[in-house]
Structure 1
Amino acid sequence: MESNAKQKFDKNCEDINKLLEFHESSGGSSPGRRYGLEVLNKSAVVLICAIWEAYCEDIAAEGLEHIVNYATSSDNLSTEIKKQVAKSVKEDQNQLAVWSLADDGWRNYLRNRLTQLQEKRNRQLNTPITVNIDKLFDESLAIKNISHSWRWKKMSATQAALKLDKYINLRGSIAHRGSASETVKKQQVEAFLKHVQQIVDIIESVVFTYITQITSQDSY
């Protein structure tokens, strides 16, 4: 069963496909390569980055919410989640913070912690490169190095991460230098979208397996 995050991601991908379809149906400034349509390619790259980042944040939040709702007790939480919660409580200046975990208090604690992490990321304006995505899943769900799972036929995890970061950096170039940035071709847009879609499919599987082990619920 797909997550809500994946369904939203797929819906957003339709907008990318519409841009590509418009690229096909529209004329360019000259035969062959359509220079006048390059703005569509740049817009598509920026949009892909946005829906990629949104998916990662949404699936992390959805996964944690599932754990909070369906874990029968804190005993079922992964060791890494317990360690992160313990670390947060230890660093809390409020000496009574530990009591917030009593009974079912740990559920609200995890929800509040995710909100705090989201606010922190919004302030820092991080880009969705591999290192930041790894950090997101580590802090939110205690899934370490999720990027190590990004591998498929003829694509190692290292290659997948490098390829993703190359495209994210391209977005940065477009955003900071606008029309003066490097040329972006339609083939790059198609390759970027396909790459992100493959990674999203893997993340779906990793997160689903992880939360199922904790909650014994085989659906979102």
Structure 2
Amino acid sequence: MASEAWNTFEKNIKDVITLHNLHTRVAMTDSSAPPETEVLNRAGIVLTTSFWEAFCEDVAAEALEKIVASAKDASVLPKEIKKQIARELKANSNEVAVWDLAGDNWRVLLQTRLAALQDARNKKLNTPKSQNIDDLFESAIGLPGVSSGWTIEYCTEPGKTILMDADATRKKLDEMVTLRGEIAHRGKAKAAIMKDDVKDYAMFVAGIAISINRQLSEYVQSISGVKPW
């Protein structure tokens, strides 16, 4: 079973693979295909990064919703979330704001708070590199250093599995996001992007998403006692 965020991401990333396959067919049927077809590769990188960003936002929100729905009371909330709420209430000019936590009101507060956090993060997550993703999950659900668990494997073609430890995964992700930035701001990357690069990045990001899906499932269950997906 997977999160709804993963199910959506899986459907989206198939569009990138379709783009790659279309480019492959063009190259096979027309050896003189113009160099302008590289725009398909640039589009693939932009799409992959956008789908990655959306997945992280969606799965963080989904995990928080599961915590709010399943946690028996506020005492089981992660320490980081408690600290953040305490800081926010301390900064609140409303002297009785603390009573917003009374009874089950903490559930409503967390759900309302998520919308505000998403607005703030939207400005930051247009560069969804590993550190920003770490910050996202820590602020949203109190899970620190999610990228430290990104020991992944992914397959780009039958019989070819690529294994990466967390450091290598973070580095490759950051390179992909930087590449997307070059395309978005300059219209092209510093070096030509090959069609196989697109498929590699798409499957690579899918590997991270699978890892996050598992990490968050285990994390939410440790808090609420209920397996979220």
* Coarse TM-score class (shorter-chain normalised): over 0.9
Aligned mates of 2:169, 2:140 — CA distance in 1:
22
Change beyond 3 A, Cα 1:202–1:76: same
Aligned mates of 2:93, 2:124 — CA distance in 1:
23
Within the alignment, does 1:182 sit opposite 2:191 as a pair? yes
TM-score by length of structure 2 reads 0.89
TM-score by length of structure 1 reads 0.93
Change beyond 3 A, Cα 1:99–1:175: same
Aligned mates of 1:180, 1:196 — CA distance in 2:
19
State the identity %: 39
Aligned mates of 1:91, 1:74 — CA distance in 2:
20
More displaced 10-residue stretch of structure 1: 48-57 or 112-121: 112-121
Matching residue of 1:61: 61
Amino acid across the alignment from 1:137: F
Aligned mates of 1:166, 1:125 — CA distance in 2:
15
Matched length? 220
Preserved contact between residue 149 and residue 157 of structure 1 (Cα < 8 Å)? yes
SS of residue in 2 equivalent to 1:26:
helix
What are the ranges of 5 or more consecutive residues in structure 2 without an aligned counterpart? 154-162
Matching residue of 1:141: 141
Change beyond 3 A, Cα 1:134–1:26: same
Preserved contact between residue 66 and residue 220 of structure 2 (Cα < 8 Å)? yes
Change beyond 3 A, Cα 1:206–1:128: same
Matching residue of 2:210: 201
C-alpha displacement of 1:28 = 8.0
More displaced 10-residue stretch of structure 1: 178-187 or 105-114: 178-187
Preserved contact between residue 49 and residue 168 of structure 1 (Cα < 8 Å)? yes
More displaced 10-residue stretch of structure 1: 77-86 or 11-20: 77-86
1:145-177, Cα deviation, whole Å (9 max, x unpaired): 111011146422111101100011000000111
More displaced 10-residue stretch of structure 1: 109-118 or 147-156: 147-156
Correspondence for 1:214 among 216, 223, 226: 223
Change beyond 3 A, Cα 1:10–1:100: same
C-alpha displacement of 1:93 = 2.2
RMSD: 2.0
Matching residue of 2:71: 71
C-alpha displacement of 1:122 = 2.5
Aligned mates of 2:143, 2:32 — CA distance in 1:
47
Within the alignment, does 1:168 sit opposite 2:158 as a pair? no
Preserved contact between residue 28 and residue 36 of structure 1 (Cα < 8 Å)? no
C-alpha displacement of 1:71 = 0.8
Within the alignment, does 1:99 sit opposite 2:108 as a pair? no
Amino acid across the alignment from 1:39: V
Name whichever structure is richer in strand by fraction.
Answer: 2
C-alpha displacement of 1:21 = 1.5
More displaced 10-residue stretch of structure 1: 150-159 or 90-99: 150-159
